[in-house]
Amino acid sequence: MKRTIILALVAALIVAAPVSAAGLDISGAIETKIEVNKKGEDVTVVPGSELSLNLGLSAAEDKVRAGLEFGLAKEEDDDLVPTDITLGDIALKQAFIEADGAFWHGGPEATTRFGTLDIAYSPYASLTKRSGISISGVDVELAELNGFYALAGEHGHVLGMRGDLRVLEEVAIGASVIADAEITRLQLDAAAAPLEGLRVRGSVAADHTEDSGLKMNNLWKVEAGYELAENTAITAGYKHITDGFVPRYVAEASEDGTAEHDWIHLPRAKNSGLFVGFETEQQGVELHADYDQMFAEAKVGAGTEYEGFRFDVETVLDVPAVSSIAAKSTTFGVGREFEVMEGLAIDASYEGKWLGGTERKLVHTIGASTTLGFIPAIDGLELSAEVSASELSLDSIGYKVGAKFEAPNGVNLGIEHARATGTTFNAGMKVEF
């Protein structure tokens, strides 16, 4: 049945293409790669391929939209190029139809979606990769309303809604509810700018179950930020989470670890605690200091540039208590790009990292990289080298050299040799359309 639906959707888009070519958007990518690693007498060959296809269709002056995203059912295929692909090998990762407009004449505008949902009411009230119906952006005087229904999954059917009040220009208040067969997530957030340079915000989420009563598992976070002067700001707040809180409808952690909700996904030293932060830039020197009681950790660092050199230093402290502060690590480094000749510049760097605790050692790392531009045949060739050592012994010395090159025919080539992992060669191509 599912295969029939997929084929029908693809056929409909293909048929519609000549009729409304301006509203048809096709994109995708095919990537193939091979990696060969040799360490000692052991040789490992790992082929792989990836395939993605996105189809988008719009009509009625872009008020009606449809989207399909296909990909291999497995994250990576074991062939160099995807071959012998059947419908069982293709996964429909996303499919939706959206329409903008009112549900009755003269009614408020709304966006209605059927298919794969993308609910992001807040970092603590989110739902993705589920099929259902959502209605968003319903403007009712002083509020905006949103709602959704997700088909039955691991935790049964899921219902949710959100309302945002627009009473005051400098104040934002919103509330969300998400309910499945096991829990009802109640979430509230607010933000305000009561004074120039002052920002305050907070979020609360609580899960009600049949047995919870008034003692619901919950989390909350409040914080305030104030700009003391130009390029100088301070942040302070408090976080709390109960042991039994289920991060079921919390957004996934960000790749760079800078999202507001990332702390939910990290191992914590305590279930609550203060956090403060300070950052400033004075005469070209960037300074920052942070303390997080929940993770029992503090950071102090600085960075600047002087006559082409880059300097930076940061110390991480373990702070289980005021009376027992200990240094976890201190990292310091310097780097600069040197122009050797026209078309040849070398980016050189040194980093020292002192590790505390039981390791108690200083690791020195010297690195250099360059991109060749003066030899036409290999224009764009990237070369890099790195040597590290923690003590005056051959056993502690590590090294790594590598090269990357995108050939004129589009083939990406790379080779790396490291003492710890051996020699690795990789080659691949990627076509995007």
Q: Which residue would you say has higher pLDDT here, 38 or 313?
A: 313
The whole-number pLDDT of residue 74 equals: 60
Predicted TM-score of the model (pTM): 0.77
Band the pLDDT of 2: cuts 50, 70, 90: very low
Q: Structure tokens of 24? A: 């048809």
Segments making up each domain of the chain, as ranges = 1-101
Alpha-carbon distance of 206 to 203, in angstroms, equals: 10
- Of the chain, the percentage scoring pLDDT greater than 90 comes to 58
Please compute Rg for the chain using Cα positions. Answer: 27
Alpha-carbon distance of 413 to 407, in angstroms, equals: 7
Please state, rounded to an integer, the average pLDDT across all residues of the chain. 87
Over range 253-274, report the average pLDDT: 91
- Per residue in 388-419, pLDDT (tens digit) is 998 767 777 999 999 999 998 889 999 999 99
- Helix residue ranges, H only, 93-153: none
Exposed (0-12), middle (13-18) or buried (19+): which is 124, by Cβ within 10 Å?
Answer: buried
The whole-number pLDDT of residue 162 equals: 97
Tell whether the model's pLDDT for residue 245 goes beyond 90: yes
Band the pLDDT of 15: cuts 50, 70, 90: very low
Alpha-carbon distance of 110 to 130, in angstroms, equals: 21
Q: Is 91 helix (H, G, I), strand (E, B) or coil?
A: strand
Q: Structure tokens of 310? A: 């880059």
